Amino acid sequence: METLMVDRVQSSLRLLMYSNAIFLCERLCAEFPSELNLQLLATCYLLNNQAYCAYQILKGTKMPQSRYLFAVSCFRMNLLHEAEAALCPVNEPNAEACNLSTMYFEVPNGAAGHYLLGLIYRFTGRRAYAIDHFTQALAIDPLLWAAYEELCALGAVEESNEYFNDVYAQRIQQQHLSDSSSHNSSTGSEYCSLPPSAAVNSVDSVPRQSKQFLANSTREISTLQQGVVFAKVQTTNSGTSNLSQFNTPSPAATQLSGVAPPPLCRNAQVFLNAASSDGSMKSNLNLAVQAPRRKFMDEGKLRKVSGRLFSDSGPRRSTRLSAEASIIANSNAPQVGGNGSNHSAKFLGGLSSSSSAKANLASSRSLTFKKGQSWIAESFEEGRRPEIFDDSRTENMATTSSSISMSADGRCLEQGKATGDLAHDSRLMSGTQELLGLLRIFGEGYRLSCLYRCQEALEVYLKLSQKQFNTGWVLSQVGRAHFELVDYFEADHFFELARRVSPCTLEGMDTYSTVLYHLKEEMKLSYLAQELISVDRLSPQACPRPNWCVLPMPMYQHMVHRYVPKRKKEKRKEEEEVKEESVEEDGVQRVRKNKVVEEQEEAVEEEEEAYQMFVAHSGWREVGGSQWHTYKEEGTWAMGRSNWTARNGGGPCVYLSKDWYVTLEDFENGIKCYQSALQADDRHYNSWYGLGVVYLRQEKFEFAEHHLRRAYNINPRSSVLMCYLGMALHSLKRNQEALEIMEQAISADKQNPLPVYQKANILVSLERYDEALKELDQLSESAPHESSIYALMGKIYKRLEMHEKAMFYFGLALDLKPPAADVATIKAAMEKLYLPDEMDDNL
Amino acid sequence: MATESDGEEETATATGKLTGSPQLSVDDDLREMAKKAAWSVSSCKPGNGVLSLRDENLDTYWQSDGAQPHLVNIQFQKKVKLQLVVLYVDFKLDESYTPSKISIRAGDGFHNLKEIKTVELVKPVGWVHISLSGNDPRETFIHTFMLQIAVLSNHLNGRDTHIRQIKIYGPRPNPVPLQPFHFTSKEFITYSVLR
């Protein structure tokens, strides 16, 4: 009964019927309250986005898997310290299931655990620890892209060659095997482990890794123990407590039909055949999972997860991910198959149609099955340790099962050969290398763009194949690189492509909206905002990461502009209360409610909605009671709440509010926001820059210089930053330095006219008028519509007492319609042209 | 010519045609300035103090409680450029409490306030826009530390006065700090700020 329930739960999970799974699992736990079952229940809750439930269930549990799940739920609930405590307890209490390797199990779930721990450290601001753990995660699992990404974001990656190196190829191969074996042992089905791994070049020629995990436990041969022992992984024979639940007998056929997941249709056929032919054989555990996955993070998380976990989380992810356009086309397709040894053999055979499969049929060994042996030998001859069989109990093997497995073996081999599986080892090797090569390019590109060496990053991305390049991730990365290079048109172009390729990818869309904001593409921005909001609405909880944020300032501005009505909230609340009262009094009144009231009601709802969405999607958390502030400023509505804090906020999330504060000249709050943004991510150069500009405005030039220099050190190729740094230096009267840095800025980006203008400005203050005029003259060629150039020229000619020319240039400047403030100053300057320089402080 | 006709309109309204409008309409290149300023009034009735002038709520009002003229003082932290004062008054609700003659004064402090504008209101309901600009383009803005709004008389010879909101607008600051002039071309603006 237990096994049946477990299977039903897992199949529900696979089919994304979480509530069903939760219900069943609760029954299961009530009936058989083991920790493994609790884990399953917690997994159900986690998948159903109910981290708080999982938290409740798992609190105080000790098994590594439980601790990992507990940490995940803590993490999702923002209880970072508890999560940390769960991941690294003072004493390692568990000796039972984690004796595979001490290295792997210091932190539960190896790479995934380290990754999670790294994230926790990062959010709690312990950079060194975070880097350490991400590096460890990468060392354990060289393909853990998410950890690499975090490392890049922390600016800790020197050379991407260090990672994704070919050296790791062997490691990865071993890992596949150790994965399967450890996986087997953790499920407690070490009787007949069949850990094959395969490299697949799938039809679309996308390099793909496919893994197969086969977990078998057969009641008849339950006394048999065979462990496959690899380099670091020692399968232990200690009968784990988890075994029992897998060993309750149940008809094989039912289970097979119940378990076989949709993607296994091909194989299911074989399964059923096998089941019918071996009907007499009672196999208890039938787990067959095919989970094509792309994300290495997932891989990491799933690694060494018990078989059940595989069977539930794998397919869920797979379906989720397969819905997206393949961003990283490296897909791993692990297959977890747990069934009677004979079934698995067939299963393998069936699989071989899509992949080169290697089967290590443990049971066959004792049978001296020649073919099988030779095949096994073949499969393991390269770069892998031959398996050492634990012979201690082989003699206990029941003859029936052996004979069956023999026949199964034969069938397997036939099928395997029929599909022409040869040279799988070299394929596996080349597959890994190919994958690593691909990741190297991605890694290099991402690293460079994190270091803001965008030009180089672009070149690296161009090395990608067309297929890879035309994916949402790459396109938006390229867009972002162009954005950082202040090439907004190109950025727009690539973001547009990215949106066309994967309209529902929200990553990078915040940058896109900023691009549109810069380009003053109000229509497009509006449209984008609307679209993204509609995407959001469809999947309100699609954000597993707490720092996820798609609504940056300009977009938010748009949203608010649309939604926030002009009257104050409290007032409307009162109105609402009044309305509610009237509704209570009699229903008739409700019908007669006049249109104005209805509109007001709608407005309230819309505002609430806008606010809710903002909160939900930006990762902002409200702390303490606070009031709404609405400002009509700068021609748009801004909405903010006092006493906000962003927990776990990535930079952009905090960043978005501060621009408001600064444009509203609320410098205090602006500075606070920038600082909290920097707390979350001290490599967020925009925040350093923002602080610098605030100080510049407040005329605290020393501070301004310091902050701008920090920004400049993070992104040393930005001509805009250089230009601002030069301005700060100029204000500090360090004109020589300022001039040098302006020169640097000019050479860094020929397109940027501002450093030239600023240089002229500095020259004016140095009274080197001729040079300044020369610069401005050239500048007016490239930017003929810039009124400030002419105004400045007029000012210089006025100083030089060349009144005619001064008048001419002031006139030109006025023609270009500067804002009213400038009109006033220029006109004043014109009128006083023939008077001595008394208005100099004005100009 | 344009400035002249503007001036004529202003003088026309200044001689008593200000009636208020239901919409608060302000040019895009202006912004509210007085958030950081220190606000004070010559007198007030308890519960209808100076805060009512700035609470964004049109249902509350400041009510004076003393002899005329009733003064609202706005002191800024630094010298600012101002262009527009907007009041919300409602003759329908406030009747004899509604101001009819308002004088606006500016200066460095209480000691040297100079009158820069006097307006008359006629049964105003809504936002009353009072421009501070002179006729000369150089006098588009007034450059001042302090602004004083004096209610010289009310409708129907009322003694105390009601004002529901006051807003003060000045030109927007240059988005790029420390620049003598605003940038106007797309090329310059694109490069002028990071986000």
List, for residues A762-774, the tens digit of each pLDDT value. 999 999 999 999 9
Residue with tokens 């501002």: A754
- Two structure tokens written together for B47: 């519960």
% of chain A at pLDDT higher than 70: 49
Which of A329-333, A657-661, A738-742, B184-188 shows the lowest per-residue confidence on average (mean pLDDT)?
A329-333
Q: How far is CA A118 from CA A70, A111, A154, A438, A714, in A?
A: 16, 10, 11, 25, 22
A645 CA to chain B: closest CA distance, Å? 21
* Phi/psi of residue B177, nearest 5 degrees: -70, 155
- 675-704 of A, contacting B, C-beta below 8 A: 686, 689, 693, 696-697
* pTM flag (> 0.80): no
Which of A834-843, B20-29, B128-137 shows the lowest per-residue confidence on average (mean pLDDT)?
A834-843
Residue A138 pLDDT: 85
The closest of A359, A456, A394, A356 to A716, measured between CA atoms, is A456
Residue B38 β-bridge partners: B75
Which of A349-363, A399-413, A455-469, B20-34 shows the lowest per-residue confidence on average (mean pLDDT)?
A349-363
Residue A153 pLDDT: 82
Q: Highest mean pLDDT: which of A423-437, A817-831, B66-80? A: B66-80
Query: Is a pLDDT exceeding 80 seen at residue A676?
Result: no
- The confidence band for A391, taking pLDDT boundaries of 50, 70 and 90, is very low
- The confidence band for A609, taking pLDDT boundaries of 50, 70 and 90, is low
The separation between the first and the last C-alpha atoms of chain B, rounded to the nearest angstrom, is 42
- Two structure tokens written together for A771: 């040079």
pLDDT digits (tens, 9 = 90+) for A552-603: 344 444 444 444 433 334 444 554 444 444 434 343 333 333 444 445 455 5
Query: Which residues does A201 contact at the CB level (< 8 Å), separation at least 6?
Result: A207, A208, A427, A431
For A632, which DSSP code?
E
Residue A106 pLDDT: 60
Supply the mean pLDDT for chain A: 63
Residue A731 with chain B: CB contacts under 8 Å = 178
- The residue out of A177, A192, A210 marking a domain boundary is A177
- The residue out of A133, A161, A177 marking a domain boundary is A177
Please indicate, yes or no, if residue A794 is contained in any of the structural domains. yes
- Cα B177 from Cα A583, distance rounded (Å): 55
Do A827 and B81 lie within an 8 Å CB cutoff? no
- Cα A738 from Cα A725, distance rounded (Å): 8
Q: Tell me, yes or no, if A517 comes closer than 8 A to chain B by beta carbon.
A: yes
- The confidence band for A290, taking pLDDT boundaries of 50, 70 and 90, is very low
- The confidence band for A539, taking pLDDT boundaries of 50, 70 and 90, is very low
Residue A423 pLDDT: 63
Query: Is a pLDDT exceeding 60 seen at residue A825?
Result: yes
Q: Tell me, yes or no, if A573 comes closer than 8 A to chain B by beta carbon.
A: no
Residue A179 pLDDT: 54
Which of A457-466, A568-577, A756-765, A811-820 shows the lowest per-residue confidence on average (mean pLDDT)?
A568-577
* CA atoms within 13 Å, Cβ hemisphere of B137: 18
Please indicate, yes or no, if residue A333 is contained in any of the structural domains. no
Query: Is a pLDDT exceeding 90 seen at residue B38?
Result: yes
Query: Is a pLDDT exceeding 60 seen at residue A365?
Result: no
Which of A5-14, A431-440, B69-78 shows the lowest per-residue confidence on average (mean pLDDT)?
A431-440
- Cα A500 from Cα A479, distance rounded (Å): 13
Query: A421 versus B88: which is more confidently predicted?
Result: B88
Residue B136 pLDDT: 74
Mean pLDDT of A412-433: 62
Query: Taken in order B18, B19, B25, B31, is the CA torsion positive or negative?
Result: positive
pLDDT digits (tens, 9 = 90+) for A148-191: 888 888 877 776 666 777 666 666 666 666 655 544 444 333 33
Q: Tell me, yes or no, if A783 comes closer than 8 A to chain B by beta carbon.
A: yes
Do residues A9 and A19 make contact, with C-beta atoms less than 8 angstroms apart? no
B174 CA to chain A: closest CA distance, Å? 9
- Cα A516 from Cα A336, distance rounded (Å): 46
Do A782 and B179 lie within an 8 Å CB cutoff? no
Burial class (CB in 10 A: 0-12, 13-18, 19+), B43: middle
Do A568 and B171 lie within an 8 Å CB cutoff? no
- The confidence band for B183, taking pLDDT boundaries of 50, 70 and 90, is confident
Mean pLDDT of A434-454: 87
Q: Tell me, yes or no, if B57 comes closer than 8 A to chain A by beta carbon.
A: yes
Across the interface, of A731, A818, A820, the residue whose CB is closest to B140 is: A820
Query: Is a pLDDT exceeding 50 seen at residue B10?
Result: no
- Two structure tokens written together for B12: 């026309």
Query: Is a pLDDT exceeding 90 seen at residue B88?
Result: yes
Do B140 and A757 lie within an 8 Å CB cutoff? no
Which of A384-393, A630-639, A661-670 shows the lowest per-residue confidence on average (mean pLDDT)?
A630-639
- 734-753 of A, contacting B, C-beta below 8 A: 751-753
Across the interface, of A633, A821, A824, the residue whose CB is closest to B32 is: A633
Q: What does the angle CA A474 – CA A478 – CA A482 come to, to the nearest 5 degrees?
A: 170
- Cα A355 from Cα A201, distance rounded (Å): 8
Do residues A88 and A116 make contact, with C-beta atoms less than 8 angstroms apart? no
- Cα A248 from Cα A250, distance rounded (Å): 7
Q: Tell me, yes or no, if B179 comes closer than 8 A to chain A by beta carbon.
A: yes
Across the interface, of A813, A821, A827, the residue whose CB is closest to B81 is: A821
Query: Is a pLDDT exceeding 90 seen at residue A268?
Result: no
Residue A819 with chain B: CB contacts under 8 Å = 29, 171-172, 182
What is the number of domains present in chain A?
2
Residue A806 pLDDT: 92
Residue A236 pLDDT: 35
Please indicate, yes or no, if residue A801 is contained in any of the structural domains. yes
- Cα A129 from Cα A135, distance rounded (Å): 10
Do B192 and A818 lie within an 8 Å CB cutoff? no
Which of B54, B79, B88, B178 to probe the A interface (max A CBs under 10 A)? B178
pLDDT digits (tens, 9 = 90+) for A19-61: 999 999 999 999 988 888 989 999 999 888 888 888 888 888 8
Please indicate, yes or no, if residue A161 is contained in any of the structural domains. yes
Q: Tell me, yes or no, if A665 comes closer than 8 A to chain B by beta carbon.
A: yes
Residue A74 pLDDT: 87
Do A831 and B181 lie within an 8 Å CB cutoff? no
Q: How far is CA A66 from CA A25, A136, A190, A680, B169, in A?
A: 16, 21, 21, 29, 61
The closest of A509, A557, A522, A530 to A656, measured between CA atoms, is A557
- Cα B69 from Cα B41, distance rounded (Å): 11
Answer left, alpha or beta for residue A383, where phi above 0 means left and psi between -120 and 50 means alpha. left
Residue B89 β-bridge partners: B126
Q: Tell me, yes or no, if B23 comes closer than 8 A to chain A by beta carbon.
A: no
Please indicate, yes or no, if residue A505 is contained in any of the structural domains. no
- The confidence band for A343, taking pLDDT boundaries of 50, 70 and 90, is very low
Please indicate, yes or no, if residue A601 is contained in any of the structural domains. no
Please indicate, yes or no, if residue A400 is contained in any of the structural domains. no
Q: Tell me, yes or no, if B185 comes closer than 8 A to chain A by beta carbon.
A: yes
- The residue out of A124, A149, A177 marking a domain boundary is A177
Q: Would you give the distance in Å from CA B188 to the centre of its chain? A: 33
- Two structure tokens written together for A1: 């009964």
Q: Would you give the distance in Å from CA A126 to the centre of its chain? A: 20
- Cα A504 from Cα A486, distance rounded (Å): 25
Across the interface, of A554, A786, A820, the residue whose CB is closest to B171 is: A820
- The confidence band for A356, taking pLDDT boundaries of 50, 70 and 90, is very low
Query: Is a pLDDT exceeding 80 seen at residue A637?
Result: no
Query: Which residues does A591 contact at the CB level (< 8 Å), separation at least 6?
Result: none
* CA atoms within 13 Å, Cβ hemisphere of A746: 14
Do B181 and A791 lie within an 8 Å CB cutoff? yes
The CATH H-level superfamily of B17-173 is: Galactose-binding domain-like (2.60.120.260)
- The confidence band for B160, taking pLDDT boundaries of 50, 70 and 90, is very high
Query: Is a pLDDT exceeding 50 seen at residue B35?
Result: yes
Q: Tell me, yes or no, if A733 comes closer than 8 A to chain B by beta carbon.
A: no
Q: Taking each helix axis from N to C terminus, what angle separates A522-538 and A553-563, rounded to the nearest 10 degrees?
A: 80
- Cα A48 from Cα A57, distance rounded (Å): 14
CA-nearest residue of chain B to A782? B187
pLDDT digits (tens, 9 = 90+) for A480-536: 899 888 888 899 999 999 988 888 777 777 778 778 777 777 777 777 766 766 665
Do A721 and B28 lie within an 8 Å CB cutoff? no
Which of A124-128, A192-196, A754-758 shows the lowest per-residue confidence on average (mean pLDDT)?
A192-196
ipTM above 0.85, yes or no: no
Structural domain harbouring A791: 785-842
CATH number for position A143: 1.25.40.10
- The confidence band for A231, taking pLDDT boundaries of 50, 70 and 90, is very low
The closest of A179, A163, A515 to A314, measured between CA atoms, is A179
CA-nearest residue of chain A to B78? A698
Which of A487, A578, A754, A833 to probe the B interface (max B CBs under 10 A)? A754
Which of A17-31, A232-246, B76-90 shows the lowest per-residue confidence on average (mean pLDDT)?
A232-246
Query: A609 versus B133: which is more confidently predicted?
Result: B133
Kind of pairing, strands A628-633 and A636-641?
antiparallel
Mean pLDDT of A208-214: 33
